[in-house]
Amino acid sequence: MNSSKLQSTLMKWLMPIANKVEQQKHLQAIKDGMIAIVPIIIIGSFFILPIAFMNVFQSGPIHEFFANHIDKLTYPDKFTNGLLSVYAAFFIADSLAKKYAMHSAQYGITAVITHVILSGVVTENGLDMTYLGAQGLFVSIISAILSVEVTRFMIKKKMVVRLPDSVPQMVGDSFSNLFPMIVNILLGSTIAILSTSLGEVAFPQVIMNVLAPAISSMDSLPSLLIVIFLTQFLWFFGLHGPAITSAVWAPFAITYQAENIANYAAGADVTHIFTFGLYYNILQVSGSGLTLGLVLLMMRSRAKNLNAIGKVSIIPSLFGINEPLIFGAPIILNPFMFIPFVFGPLIVTTLTYFGMTSGLMGMPIANPPGFLPPGVGAFLMTLDWRAVVFVFLSLILMTLIYLPFFKAMEANEIKKESEKTV
Amino acid sequence: MNILLVCNAGMSSSILVDKMKKAAAAQNLDVVVEARSNNAINEEVGKWDICLVGPQIIYAVDSIKATLGIPVAAVEPRTYAMANGEEALKQAFKMHEEGKA
């Protein structure tokens, strides 16, 4: 089989998979809903910074000031990260409902109520919020899907109140959601009560016990390598790697991120490596394939095509957008680029993993905003200058990995260009 | 004519949007062009005549078509890479013509 035939065979095989994942409404809703809470995590991250300041100054007046006021300084953290799973339940349900063309905020709110019932632990003093933050994120997936599916089923079976069309839509929506909401609330309450009375633990704890092996196995070097390999492999065929693979890993990575923040805020050990921030700010910095060095090489190239693409790619690349490079060079289906583009990032991933487990650089404690220039995101994420150094060393390493393949591609390109002009 | 551009995060397609607006202004064409992320297109039903998607999410063309019910196609990779506004506009107008026929 020659290489172009192999490529078209693979493409025939990859496209339907990507298409299936794209059309799987639950997976997409979970992904969209989880990504929708990332801004809340970013904002929450700002309010754990006072803890970092406090830790920088081990003693003295500045330390005392922070220590005395740390509850006030980190106040918003309890209501951003501390209630994260409530927001996730809303966004996942809202996204799923819209995919079913059910356009009303009622479905998101039904999911929120269901979720708080499933995850809130009633105590003598009110509500225990332990499971409403990071620890409740997997339950928010369950609450959202359950409540939307129950509602959808009831609408389909006409088990809802229908008001005449002359009634304003807002009013009509809230009435038609009346019975589905009652059913969801009763269902949630039953599950919550059964779980605490029979199992003697809160429902989220039951779910965590069941999912524990799956949850912990995602945060490992083999999982990271598989995710990065698939990302790069899909991009090589021109398909958006992170968009497709994140349907599976984003819920985990965002949960790890939120758990790290919660642990950091509580003064406990930060344990997770595979966070949302890590993926974009180290493993895919300057775009999938860590291509900044390759862009710089192209900008200096004598091959006209590569030079032109290098120039249009540089600014977007600085902000982590490298579609111009991937489609322009092109990297897709380019035999010269397969090895460095697909396998180079695996080396960086391995180094990152051991760099963090060995303590050579800090773990991801916060989640930085997206689309930041190289190093900036890594610093905001770890608050460790060594992570910034690591990012630049990784980019240099990747440049060296691309270099010989780039030279071969450039020579080929120059040959083609001179043939054209003859 | 209203042209919607869709990519994964609405970032890379916004580069092309700017160039398409410039090309349209230079040719005195009356078009509205905006970029959206793929997960936000449920909000866009009924607002657009043509939808162009970034080649990196070509796999989503079918589902976007099903959601929006308008002509949807992926931008030619080279046009997308160079953010060639004129070419992208040409493609949109061609799709519009074919859609009418």
pLDDT under 50: residue ranges of chain B: none
| Chain A from 326 to 355: CB within 8 A of any B CB | 326-330, 332
Q: Which of B43, B59, B81 is opposite residue A327, by nearest beta carbon?
A: B81
Residues A38 and A183 in one domain: yes
Predicted complex ipTM exceeds 0.90: no
In a domain, residue A409? The reply is: yes
pLDDT tens for residues A310-368?
Answer: 999 999 999 999 999 999 999 998 999 999 999 999 999 999 999 999 999 999 999 99
**Alpha-carbon distances, residue A174 vs A159, A167, A170 (angstroms):** 14, 11, 6
- Give which of A38, A348, A383 is closest to A221, Cα–Cα: A348
Q: What is the pLDDT of residue B101?
A: 66
More confident residue, A421 or A56: A56
- pLDDT range class, residue A3, cuts 50, 70, 90: low
Look at B80 and A330 and tell me if their CB atoms are within 8 Å: no
- pLDDT range class, residue A164, cuts 50, 70, 90: confident
Residues A240 and A112 in one domain: no
**In this model, does residue A393 exceed pLDDT 80?**
yes
Given A182, A210, A238, the domain boundary residue is: A210
CB contacts, 8 Å: B52 with chain A:
none
H or E element at residue B72: strand B72-74
Domain that holds residue A189: 29-210
B46 to chain A, any CB pair closer than 8 A? The answer is no
In a domain, residue A405? The reply is: yes
Residues A269 and A327 in one domain: yes
Domains located in chain B, CATH noted:
2-100 (3.40.50.2300)
CB contacts, 8 Å: A239 with chain B:
56-59
pLDDT exceeding 70 applies to what percent of chain A? Answer: 99
- pLDDT range class, residue A1, cuts 50, 70, 90: very low
Q: What is the pLDDT of residue B97?
A: 92
In a domain, residue A16? The reply is: no
By annotation, the residues of B acting in catalysis are 7
Residues A248 and A364 in one domain: yes
In a domain, residue A215? The reply is: no
Given A167, A182, A210, the domain boundary residue is: A210
Q: What is the pLDDT of residue A2?
A: 58
Residue B17 in contact with residue B1, Cβ under 8 Å? no
Residues A258 and A205 in one domain: no
Instruction: Name residue, tokens 């905003």.
Output: A369
**In this model, does residue A309 exceed pLDDT 90?**
yes
Q: What is the pLDDT of residue A147?
A: 98
CB contacts, 8 Å: B80 with chain A:
323-324, 327
Report chain A's mean pLDDT, rounded to a whole number.
Answer: 92
CA angle A35, A37, A39 (to 5 degrees): 95
Number of domains in chain A: 2
pLDDT tens for residues A82-100?
Answer: 999 999 999 999 999 999 9
Backbone angles phi, psi at B2, to 5 degrees: -105, 120
For A290, the token pair is: 């860590």
Look at A327 and B11 and tell me if their CB atoms are within 8 Å: no
In a domain, residue A222? The reply is: no
Residues A204 and A87 in one domain: yes
In a domain, residue A54? The reply is: yes
In a domain, residue A13? The reply is: no
Q: How far apart are CA B14 and CA B18, in angstroms?
A: 6
In a domain, residue A39? The reply is: yes
Q: Indicate the pTM of the whole model.
A: 0.89
